[in-house]
Structure 1
Amino acid sequence: MDFTSQLGFTATERFLRYVQIDTQSDPGSTTCPSTEKQKDLGWLLVQELLAIGIADAHLDEFGYVYATIPANTEKENVPVICFCSHMDTAPDCSGKDVKPIVHRKYNGDDIVLPDDPTQVLRMAEHPDLKNQIGNDIITASGNTLLGADNKAGVAEIMDAAYQLMNHPEIQHGVVKILFTPDEEIGRGVDKADITKIGAFACYTIDGESAGNLENETFSADGARLTINGVSTHPGFAKGKMESAIKIAAQIVAGLPYELSPEGTEDMQGFVHPVDIAGHIEQATIDFIIRDFEDDKLKAHADVIRGVADKVLKRFPNSTYTLKVREQYRNMKNVLAQHPQIVDYGMEAIRRAGVEAKLCSIRGGTDGSRLSFMGLPTPNIFAGEHAFHGKQEWVSVQDMHKAVQTILHICAIWEENA
């Protein structure tokens, strides 16, 4: 079925509303959600879902939005599927007072953001812009991120829900909706109720270029290196002081470039120091460790140990410990057991008139953890680009293609039941 001519899309209007609500998450917070303001968007989404006739839409105490679109098919064996996006924006860049701008009919010229003219979107730096000639590009004004990651996905799921409720000719089974907080700080599904969702498969709508379907993520560990140095009065420190700060600095400097984010690409993993804190007597370095192959994570942690051992030889009275903790694992390990989930997603993209591309993510999504919680979840494009920065952008037409893809996924599961 060709949905293009039948639908009056609402994704753009929804998106422009949503990005003006500050939902930045906070990695330093211990609450769920990490910031109460994420619920502001959650409440709005619930009200909009209720308004289009989805009776069970609700926001729980942890900031999760749940909703159910009832089946409209006579088939009784259609698997329940879910669509998921996250409501928070990244701590990396301000999400307060976002002023979205729609640049109509992009012609290939540089896009200068008016509130900070040093922020310029150039095709050479944003290669996917070459596919957007004639399309409408949405950016922020230059002082904030836009929030397309992942409010584009939220708007697309909301638009798809609107279309399903208003176009009964699109046959589908039960469809679940899940909007999560705190994905950007790695806690997006900490309190997700898998039993309440009750789905066989899920699709996060949180990817980049139109046509992309991602069935593989990094496997991820976190690690903390604690260095115990020797403190003494600096006026009498000769031959005695062993500064944990300086030891930490030497360890970071000793990490191999070819195992760093800036020195790797494609299917290569990395070790990345993300935080250093401490004083003379004790310092800590927090790392993220990433690879597509689980077995390589231990080898990467051993690289940290090897560098630390080498540096500590120069500091005989100092010691260190390295504690590694699992964060998430490559969702491909789960999705490989249910190939139709990815196959139907790829077919839906093609039916939306876009070239389908199977990709890997140099990162993770809510789907990484959902997959290992019993809900296999690949990632579908949302059209978002230049995540977490002031040059973030999304195409209106790509958002419409994402909405069509969601609708085709629903129809394909019904057809194949």
Structure 2
Amino acid sequence: MTDTVLDRFLRYVVIDTQSDASSPTQPSTAKQLTLGKLLVEELQAIGITDAHLDEHGYVYATIPATSAKNNVPVICFCSHMDTAPDFSGTGVKPQVIEDYQGGDIVLPGDTSRIIKASDNPELANNIGNTIITSDGTTLLGADDKAGLAEIMTAAEILMSNPDIKHGAIRLLFTPDEEIARGTDKVDLQKLGADFGYTVDGETPGHIEDETFSADGVDIEIKGVAIHPGFAFGRMENAIRIAGDIIAKLPRDMAPESTKGKQGFIHPTGVSGAMEGASIHLIIRDFVDAGLIEKEELLEGIVKEVMATYPGSTYTFKVTEQYRNMKNVLSEHPQIMDYALEAVERTGIKAVRGSIRGGTDGSRLTAMGLPCPNIFAGGHAFHSPLEWVSHQDMGKAVTTLVELAKIWEERA
């Protein structure tokens, strides 16, 4: 290797690539293209001649086959370039803590922010390792620049070692995953893969073949506006209506009060004025029927509140975001079997799990490219307390290389 996975990761995280759900463009932010161009340059530098960035912000590339077999399925490794809009991603200053000796980690840019060992049990498995954090004023961006660095490093290993036998491997780096638009413009015909893997998970060893099913809900409220001095019996303030709806959401069906396979209703934004207001929510459940039940419950709450404001009206729009990939992946058990074996070959325990979230793989699976999720090693995503270890990223790199070998061996 001419470049370590840590070298790459530190290079990528300082590039601001936050996506923006309010933007109508693809990609949603032009700054994501900055990282895309760099990735293409690096892919070309290691000998991948077809690497390119398309007009929608996707990076496509091919690691050519080294196997003489002509029946090796084409697999795809995929990670996303954007970081979440939940917290600032501008001016990331990564902190590299070598030979971590345990305990809490105080972040130097904002000492009120502390990565607590009690909240991060995986830190105990990283004693003596190199830990990377932000300075506490921004996201780190391990979600999913750890995945990018791992795929890029694995690609360099495979390109530099033609004696490693594998089939053709497609690489796909996507924009806008964090705003559920990461696969909107993917050209699966051009990608040409039979099966795929997103590298976008958390704890080392974990491979996930199940995600939430997800919908977005947009509620638009039209109130009755009038000068407050003459409002008695006449004003119907849309802001107050929105507040009444949010106040009636069941507290036992919120992200902060659910776990495991429990779904939730989660308001993600509210805005407006007296004459009109908007509420944006996400609905999550592992079972599609659970989505419908929660959406019916939500609209029932809206109707109940609106009945007390007879002069006002509303619209209720549901948008499908992604679906649980479990049903499709169960039809192709070798995809998970090979991934779990690849993990075991690295010397760590393989764990099959579910994600209380979604990945590009959810949508890719629904689009016809079965695609479970491989760990990338990051923790505390979407927050300034995000962290990852160099050694865990290295385990992901080895897993990808072994996975490429296994598909060739089983062909």
Please classify the TM superposition score into its range, dividing by the shorter chain length: over 0.9
Q: Which runs of 4+ in 1 moved over 4 A?
A: none
The CA distance in 2 between the partners of 1:360 and 1:121, in whole Å, is 25
Counterpart of 2:173 in structure 1: which amino acid? F
1:248 to 207, 225, 242: 242
The reply to whether residue 112 of structure 1 matches residue 106 of structure 2 is yes
Counterpart of 1:217 in structure 2: which amino acid? T
1:9 and 1:400 in contact (8 A); partners too: no
The reply to whether residue 43 of structure 1 matches residue 52 of structure 2 is no
Q: Which residue of 1 aligns with 2:17?
A: 23
For 1:182-193, list aligned pairs within 5 A.
182-193=176-187
For 1:345-360, list aligned pairs within 5 A.
345-360=339-354
The two structures have a TM-score, normalised by structure 2, of 0.97
The CA distance in 2 between the partners of 1:391 and 1:36, in whole Å, is 26
2:46 to 49, 52, 58: 52
The reply to whether residue 316 of structure 1 matches residue 310 of structure 2 is yes
Q: Which residue of 1 aligns with 2:296?
A: 302
Paired residue secondary structure (2:140) = coil
Q: Which residue of 2 aligns with 1:196?
A: 190
Compare 32-41 and 172-181 and name the one that shifted more.
32-41
Compare 392-401 and 183-192 and name the one that shifted more.
183-192
Q: Which residue of 2 aligns with 1:230?
A: 224
Paired residue secondary structure (1:213) = strand
Deviations 1:216-263 (A, max 9, x none): 111111112222322222212212222221111111101111111111
The CA distance in 2 between the partners of 1:227 and 1:55, in whole Å, is 53
Deviations 1:35-79 (A, max 9, x none): 111111111111111111111111111111111011101111000
1:333–1:230 distance in 2 versus 1, CA, 3 Å: same
The CA distance in 2 between the partners of 1:73 and 1:295, in whole Å, is 45
1:348 and 1:406 in contact (8 A); partners too: yes
**RMSD, matched Cα:** 1.4
The reply to whether residue 390 of structure 1 matches residue 384 of structure 2 is yes
1:271 to 248, 255, 265: 265
Paired residue secondary structure (1:317) = coil
The CA distance in 2 between the partners of 1:174 and 1:265, in whole Å, is 39
1:140 and 1:390 in contact (8 A); partners too: yes
The offset of 1:347, in angstroms, is 0.9
For 1:279-298, list aligned pairs within 5 A.
279-298=273-292
Deviations 1:85-125 (A, max 9, x none): 01111112222222212111111122222222112212012
Q: Which residue of 2 aligns with 1:149?
A: 143
The offset of 1:411, in angstroms, is 0.6
The offset of 1:149, in angstroms, is 0.7
The CA distance in 2 between the partners of 1:199 and 1:338, in whole Å, is 14
Runs of 5+ unmatched residues, structure 1: 1-6
The CA distance in 2 between the partners of 1:391 and 1:349, in whole Å, is 27
The CA distance in 2 between the partners of 1:92 and 1:147, in whole Å, is 12
The CA distance in 1 between the partners of 2:122 and 2:298, in whole Å, is 36
Q: Which residue of 2 aligns with 1:163?
A: 157
Paired residue secondary structure (2:103) = coil
The offset of 1:359, in angstroms, is 1.1
The CA distance in 2 between the partners of 1:170 and 1:203, in whole Å, is 20
1:215 and 1:359 in contact (8 A); partners too: yes
Counterpart of 1:319 in structure 2: which amino acid? T
Compare 175-184 and 224-233 and name the one that shifted more.
224-233
The offset of 1:319, in angstroms, is 3.2
The offset of 1:8, in angstroms, is 7.6
The CA distance in 1 between the partners of 2:55 and 2:13, in whole Å, is 22
The CA distance in 2 between the partners of 1:13 and 1:323, in whole Å, is 45
Q: Which residue of 2 aligns with 1:124?
A: 118
The CA distance in 2 between the partners of 1:105 and 1:355, in whole Å, is 23
Paired residue secondary structure (2:154) = helix
Paired residue secondary structure (1:178) = strand
The offset of 1:9, in angstroms, is 6.8
The CA distance in 2 between the partners of 1:55 and 1:416, in whole Å, is 28
The two structures have a TM-score, normalised by structure 1, of 0.96
Deviations 1:127-164 (A, max 9, x none): 21111111110111222111111110000000000000
The CA distance in 2 between the partners of 1:320 and 1:347, in whole Å, is 52
